[in-house]
Amino acid sequence: MEERFLVTGAATGASNNFIQSLRAGDRCLFIVGCHDDRFVLKKSMADRNCLLPGATHPDFLEGLSRVVTTERIDLLIPTSDADVRLASTLRDEIPCRVFLPRPTVVALCQDKYELTSFLHARGIPAPLTYPVPDLDGVEDTFRRLAPRERLWCRIRTGAGPAAAIPVDNPEQAASWIRYWCEMRGVPATAFTLSEYLPGRDFACQSLWKDGQLILIKTSERLSYFGGRTRPSGVSSIGALHKTICDPRVVEVSAAAVRALGESVSGAFSVDLKEDVGGTPCVTEINVGRFLSGTPIFDLTGTHNMAVTYVRLALGKAVDIKDAYDVAADYYMVRDLDTLPGVFHADEFFEGVEDALR
């Protein structure tokens, strides 16, 4: 019987990359895409596409349920934080499977301050972080993080380094927060200040079933898409990724996910940066979904993570002897308006003439 999946956020980079990964692993799957914007939806790579009302529309659940029933969907796959939160909350009302942690775990992971505080309190490496009570409290918050000379200022919710910037003094932080308050309507209480992590930047994607680690892969972000134009200098979207073998990253990532509960299931994509001592620290967990750069994990190594995810979600057996699946020296190159390219290091010398040789 043909397996059928509904992928949310169809035509976004995250959903198209995930669909590309699924097809690379199993071309027999039937994929339906959905979105609430018909213009965006037109670029979807799914086999069939459905226009849904927005998530806040009173008929959203009816429209979603109709698509699931009509298209005989086996599994709903969310591709954004908002979709994960919504699907986890509505799981009992959606007439198909979802493979997601419980809503309390989703809520914890989607609040960067609550998550880092939770992990820090349990001895899991994470940046020491404090919330900003108000603009007048920025200086006091700086003192709490002394003697660190540089801090990281960012919004506590949302994907990527939203409104993130390194700051060297309270005046810089207060000015940055004030700008977002006045120009973007973001309250000062939405911000946090934390220790600045200057080291390497890692992405770790993992799959879990009933508290058991099934599959985990690691990569390092070497450069950032749009990094030069951002005040932070970084982005959660790497322009150049490299597969790595680093048991430290696996150990910290797995400990962070295990701390969330004894029976967690689903996808947990962990971002980490090294502190001044070189220890990988968890900066966020993208819970319930794959990273937008998932091709570097799906198209390298022994196991395709996207296909493994749907097999786990459908209750099928997977034969994985070593959860840490390492493929050395693969790179992923990304740019605007192109699909990511995944290449082995040796391939960069093929078909390219060096003008200076």
Given a contact cutoff of 8 angstroms between Cβ atoms, the answer to whether 101 and 127 are in contact is: no
Q: Tell whether the model's pLDDT for residue 23 goes beyond 70.
A: yes
162, with CB counted inside 10 A (0-12, 13-18, 19+), is middle
183 & 210 share domain: no
Given a contact cutoff of 8 angstroms between Cβ atoms, the answer to whether 18 and 11 are in contact is: no
Which tokens is 20 given?
């590309």
Q: What is the pLDDT of residue 319?
A: 93
Range 242-245, long-range pairs (CB < 8 A, 24+ positions): 242/329, 242/330, 242/331, 242/332, 243/217, 243/218, 243/219, 243/296, 243/300, 243/301, 243/326, 243/327, 243/328, 243/329, 243/330, 243/331, 244/202, 244/218, 244/219, 244/220, 245/218, 245/326, 245/328
Banded model confidence at residue 229, pLDDT cuts 50, 70, 90: low
Asked if residue 104 is part of any domain, the answer here is: no
Which domain range does residue 177 map to?
128-195
Q: Tell whether the model's pLDDT for residue 102 goes beyond 80.
A: yes
Distance between CA atoms of residues 342 and 241, nearest Å: 9
Q: Tell whether the model's pLDDT for residue 39 goes beyond 90.
A: yes
Asked if residue 110 is part of any domain, the answer here is: no
pLDDT in tens, 309-357: 999 999 999 999 999 999 999 999 998 888 899 999 999 988 888 888 8
Of 177, 195, 213, the residue at which a domain comes to its end is 195
Of 170, 195, 220, the residue at which a domain comes to its end is 195
Q: What is the pLDDT of residue 236?
A: 72
Which tokens is 111 given?
């609040």
Number of neighbours of residue 173 by Cβ within 10 angstroms: 24
165 & 235 share domain: no
Task: Give me Rg for the CA atoms of the chain.
Answer: 21
Of 195, 217, 239, the residue at which a domain comes to its end is 195
Q: What is the pLDDT of residue 227?
A: 67
User: b vs e for 35-51, b when ≥16 Cβ sit within 10 Å of the residue's Cβ?
Assistant: bbeeeebeebbbeebbe
The greatest distance separating any two alpha carbons of the chain, rounded to the nearest whole angstrom, comes to 65
Q: What 3-state DSSP class applies to 159?
A: coil
Asked if residue 278 is part of any domain, the answer here is: yes
184 & 240 share domain: no
Asked if residue 114 is part of any domain, the answer here is: no
Distance between CA atoms of residues 240 and 210, nearest Å: 33
337 & 223 share domain: yes
Q: What 3-state DSSP class applies to 110?
A: coil
Rounded-to-5 percentages of helix, strand, coil across the chain? 30, 25, 45
Banded model confidence at residue 160, pLDDT cuts 50, 70, 90: low
User: b vs e for 91-130, b when ≥16 Cβ sit within 10 Å of the residue's Cβ?
Assistant: beebebbbbbbbeebbbbbbbbbbbbbbbbeeebbbbbbb
What residue has token string 């979802």? 98
Q: What 3-state DSSP class applies to 96?
A: coil
Distance between CA atoms of residues 234 and 223, nearest Å: 8
The CATH number that applies at residue 190 is 3.30.1490.20
Distance between CA atoms of residues 185 and 197, nearest Å: 28
228 & 343 share domain: yes
58 & 177 share domain: no
Closest Cα to residue 256, out of 120, 131, 114, 102? 120
Distance between CA atoms of residues 270 and 52, nearest Å: 30
Global pTM reads: 0.94
Residue 200 one-letter amino acid? R
Banded model confidence at residue 234, pLDDT cuts 50, 70, 90: confident
Distance between CA atoms of residues 237 and 150, nearest Å: 23
Into how many domains does the chain fold? 3
Closest Cα to residue 341, out of 280, 295, 308? 295
Q: Collect all residues with Cβ–Cβ distance below 8 Å to 151 and sequence separation of at least 6.
A: 142, 145, 166, 167, 168, 173, 193, 194, 195, 196
189 & 72 share domain: no
146 & 228 share domain: no
91 & 28 share domain: yes
209 & 336 share domain: yes
DSSP state of 274: E
pLDDT in tens, 327-340: 999 999 998 888 89
Asked if residue 150 is part of any domain, the answer here is: yes
Q: Tell whether the model's pLDDT for residue 1 goes beyond 80.
A: no
Q: What is the pLDDT of residue 109?
A: 97
Mean pLDDT in the chain?
94
